[in-house]
Amino acid sequence: MTTQDLRLTIAAELERTRARTTLLTETVDDDDLTRQHSPLMSPLVWDLAHVGNQEELWLVRDVGGRDPVRHDIDELYDAFKHARRDRPALPLLDPAEARAYLGQVRDKVFDVLDRVRFDPSVRLTDGGFAFGMIVQHEQQHDETMLATHQLRIGAPVLTAPPPPPARMIPAGEIHIKGGPFTMGTDTEPWALDNERPAHPVDVPAYWIDAAPVTNGDYLAFMDAGGYDDQRWWSERGWAHRQSAGLEAPLHWLRDHEGWHHRRFGRVEPVNPAEPVVHVCYFEAEAYAAWAGKRLPTEAEWEKAARWDPDTGRSRRYPWGDDPPGPQHANLGQRHLSPAPVGAYPEGASPAGVHQLMGDVWEWVSSGFEPYPGFSAFPYREYSEVFFGGDYRILRGGSFGTDPAAVRGTFRNWDHPIRRQIFSGFRCARDAG
Ligand SMILES: [Fe+2]
């Protein structure tokens, strides 16, 4: 790609991303923007100005070497300085100030982008990395803001066409041969430090579900008394199930006609063909035990998603190296729900595993650890400070994740009790 093409690509990604941020913050009034909809989430207006502040820190000041736009607000929007529950009490920019700030920063960023040289010897800008990091950061906050919209009580404000229907029924389980594959990447220009480096991992043979666990599957677990049977739960999982009073996925409601869920302000019957969403790690683990299976490890998930048995190569995505299109996966908030299983046959992996990308983030059994040869870049706070913490990995992105913010190597992590995120899972078992 020429320098000019890279500039144009980055500019288009920045603008496309900002359009989503604008939509998520203009569809609600100022009261909704400044209110905290859940102690787990920031007020939307915090996310908005924080997105601008990170863009200013990295692109205006670091890459551009320019003077600060607003040095006085850095501390307010430092995610490490204030827990989410404390953010509403801060002297935050109001919605009009936040929008004006984002506009000022963006003007300067376009000026920096016009002049930047993507010198391969400067790691921060090689391949446009810092711009890619900021695009992905804003997209990640767009998904967080979508989760805040899901928690918001009030009349619906977001609309989108329904996802495509199922076009086939995926097989139950897929056998993946044992042996080494290449995990992680050295070549994705916008991959983050925790996805690097590429390294061989020897994975014994296993079976993995061809599709994510559906609402219908999950209802069978519920109907079998799964929430009340300690046998299926880990010790920590059972303690959490008891103390939090878990009885169904988050946002589910029961009435005389059966189970419904509230989705972006609308109450709808639960569709048994859709992947289950808004379950925590402990619920996923309990379902898998009830089903006589287990959750896949992170390496098993990535091998199922990327390994091509014919060539031995690891692909960028399950379907190949092409970027995600609407035929491949339910990504990018194009639809505001997971699609039924079997809706994306063109997105399947070579082995025949479906819907690994998009629809729901998938809990895997691994914690967040560095790959061998890891080095922190561009700062320790991106990944390194989280290694070894009380987290479980999630893979593959959800309907709320932008295609620029996920790939076959992308690693997300969260606390095992979290379920306000768009989280689901699939199961695996040993082959032997
Ligand atoms: Fe952030």
Encode pLDDT of 7-39 as tens digits. Answer: 999 999 999 999 999 999 999 999 999 999 999
Query: 137 CA distance to ligand 1 centroid (A)?
Result: 6
pLDDT(432) > 90 = no
Q: CA-CA distance, 62 to 89, in Å (whole number)? A: 30
Residue 85 confidence (pLDDT) = 87
264: amino acid identity, one letter:
F
Percentage with pLDDT > 70 across the chain: 100
Average pLDDT over residues 373-379: 95
Residue 59 confidence (pLDDT) = 98
Q: Read off the pLDDT of residues 263-275 as tens digits, 9 standing for 90 and up.
A: 999 999 999 999 9
Query: 79 CA distance to ligand 1 centroid (A)?
Result: 6
Q: Read off the pLDDT of residues 58-91 as tens digits, 9 standing for 90 and up.
A: 999 999 999 999 989 999 999 999 988 888 889 9
The string over 325-344, giving b where at least 16 C-beta atoms fall within 10 Å of a residue's C-beta and e elsewhere, is eeebbbbbbbbbbbbbbbbb
Query: 24 CA distance to ligand 1 centroid (A)?
Result: 16
The string over 130-168, giving b where at least 16 C-beta atoms fall within 10 Å of a residue's C-beta and e elsewhere, is bbbbbbbbbbbbbbbbbbbbbebeeeebbeeeebeebee
Query: 46 CA distance to ligand 1 centroid (A)?
Result: 10
Cβ contacts of residue 88 below 8 Å, gap of 6+? 34, 35, 36, 43, 46
pLDDT(367) > 80 = yes
Percentage with pLDDT > 90 across the chain: 96
Q: CA-CA distance, 124 to 59, in Å (whole number)? A: 10
Query: 226 CA distance to ligand 1 centroid (A)?
Result: 36
Query: 78 CA distance to ligand 1 centroid (A)?
Result: 8
Q: 3-state secondary structure string, 266-303? A: EEEECCCCCECCCCCHHHHHHHHHHCCCECCCHHHHHH
Contact 378, 200 (CB under 8 A): no
Query: Cβ–Cβ contacts within 10 Å for residue 273, how many?
Result: 17
Q: CA-CA distance, 48 to 346, in Å (whole number)? A: 35
Q: How confident is the model at residue 97 (pLDDT cuts 50, 70, 90)?
A: very high
Query: 273 CA distance to ligand 1 centroid (A)?
Result: 34
Query: 350 CA distance to ligand 1 centroid (A)?
Result: 35
Residue 256 confidence (pLDDT) = 85
Query: 102 CA distance to ligand 1 centroid (A)?
Result: 15
Query: 141 CA distance to ligand 1 centroid (A)?
Result: 7
Query: 322 CA distance to ligand 1 centroid (A)?
Result: 28
Q: In angstroms, what CA-CA distances link 109 with 104, 175, 379?
A: 9, 48, 21
pLDDT(257) > 90 = no
40, two tokens:
């787990």
Query: 401 CA distance to ligand 1 centroid (A)?
Result: 15
pLDDT(324) > 80 = yes
Query: 310 CA distance to ligand 1 centroid (A)?
Result: 40
Residue 84 confidence (pLDDT) = 87
Q: Read off the pLDDT of residues 195-233 as tens digits, 9 standing for 90 and up.
A: 999 999 999 999 999 999 999 999 999 999 999 999 999
Query: 50 CA distance to ligand 1 centroid (A)?
Result: 7
